[in-house]
Structure formats: C-alpha cells, structure tokens
Amino acid sequence: MRVIIGGLLFLSGLALAFWLGICVMLYGGIMQTVENWQVDNSAVVWGIIRAVFFEFGLAAGFIMCVVGASVIDD
C-alpha cells in the first residue's frame, strides 16, 4: 500500500512539475509576451518574468517527487 501511495505521489509530482513549470510558466509567459508586445508594457514584463523564472514552478513538483520517494523508501 505504501509503495502505491508513494508511486502515485511521485507520478503526480512529475505531472504537476510539467504542467506548472512548462505549460503555465514557460509557455504562458512566452504567449503573454507575444500577445501584448505592442499593447501593454507591464504585461510584456510579467510575461518575460514568467518565462525566465519558470523553474520555480518545477519546485512544487520536485517536492512532491521527494515526498513520494521517501514514502516508498520508508
């Protein structure tokens, strides 16, 4: 049972890291920058910040992977 819960936590951590880090932060930041290029400078800056710091979105998934691995190893 512990292995199943740990495995589910690990896999959900990978899915969360992909979704939050790549889809929301990186892709969303690039699209926000492109869509607002000639319209709103503030939105362009926030889009660039999201795209540059997308690895912080990966931290949440990494933490879930660590918790899942520790549940499996325990």
Give residue-wise pLDDT tens across range 10-51.
999 889 888 888 888 888 888 888 877 887 787 888 888 888
Domain count, the chain: 1
The token pair at 63 is 């933490």
The phi-psi region of residue 40 (left if phi > 0; otherwise alpha if psi is between -120 and 50; otherwise beta) is beta
pLDDT in the model for residue 24: 81
Residue 69 and residue 6 in contact, taking contact as beta carbons nearer than 8 Å: yes
CA distance 11 to 15: 6
Nearest to 10 by CA among 64, 73, 72: 64
CA distance 55 to 50: 9
pLDDT in the model for residue 55: 80
pLDDT in the model for residue 66: 92
pTM of the shown model: 0.71
pLDDT in the model for residue 25: 83
Domain that holds residue 12: 2-73
